[in-house]
Structure 1
Amino acid sequence: MTLSPDANANSPKDDEKDTWDTALEKGGCVEEHLRLNDCYWDKHDWRKCSKEMEEFRKCWESKHEPLTSCPINMKPEKNK
C-alpha cells in the first residue's frame, strides 16, 4: 500500500480546539494555564507546582467566580 504525500498531514479534526481550550481562551488565563501544565510535565508532581497553581487560581478568580467547587469534600467531617 502506498501512502499519499498528505497521509501524514494533520487532519482537520486534529487542528480543532477542544472544549477546555475554548473555555480557557474565552475566560482568559491561557498563559497561566500553560505555565501550570509545563510545570507539571517537567516535574510530574502537582505539589511542586503550587506557585503556578496559585497564579492560575488568582487569574481565574479575577475574571470569574472563586474556584470553590470540588468533587472531593476537602473538609473533615465533625463527629456529632
Structure 2
Amino acid sequence: MSLTPDANTNSVEDNEKDAWDTALEKGGCVEEHLRLNDCYWDKHDWRKCSKEMNEFRKCWESRHGPLTSCPINMNSEKKK
C-alpha cells in the first residue's frame, strides 16, 4: 500500500485556475509575474521590488494597454 497520491488522480480544485492566472497565461507576461512574486516573497515588501514591478507593467502594457484597463474584475466573487 502506497501513501503517496497517484499522479493521475489530482482533485478538481488542484486543476482549477483563477481569473488572474488564466489572464496571465493568455496574455503573456507569466515569467515577469513569477519574478515579481518571487521578489515579494523573498523581501516581503513591494517597495523593494520596483524593478520587477516595472518589468511586469512594461510587459503587460505592451500587450494590453494600461493596467487600469485590465478586463478582470478582481472584486467579483467566484461563482460556484
* Larger of the two Rg values belongs to structure: 1
* Mapped partners of 1:68, 1:60: distance in 2: 11
| Mapping of residues 1-80 of structure 1, within 5 Å | 6=5, 10-68=10-68
Kindly tell me the number of residue pairs found equivalent between the two proteins. Answer: 65
Note closer, same or farther for the CA distance 1:48–1:5 as it changes in structure 2 (3 Å cut). closer
RMSD of aligned Cα (Å): 2.2
Structure 1: unaligned runs, 5 residues or longer: 70-80
Alignment TM-score, normalising by the size of structure 1? 0.70
Alignment TM-score, normalising by the size of structure 2? 0.70
* Mapped partners of 2:20, 2:4: distance in 1: 32
**Identity over aligned pairs, percent:** 83
- The structure whose residues are more often helix, as a share, is 2
* Mapped partners of 1:17, 1:53: distance in 2: 22
Once the two structures are superposed, residues 43-71 of structure 1 have per-residue CA deviations (whole angstroms, 9 ceiling, x without a partner) of: 000000000000000000100111246xx
Structure 2: unaligned runs, 5 residues or longer: 70-80
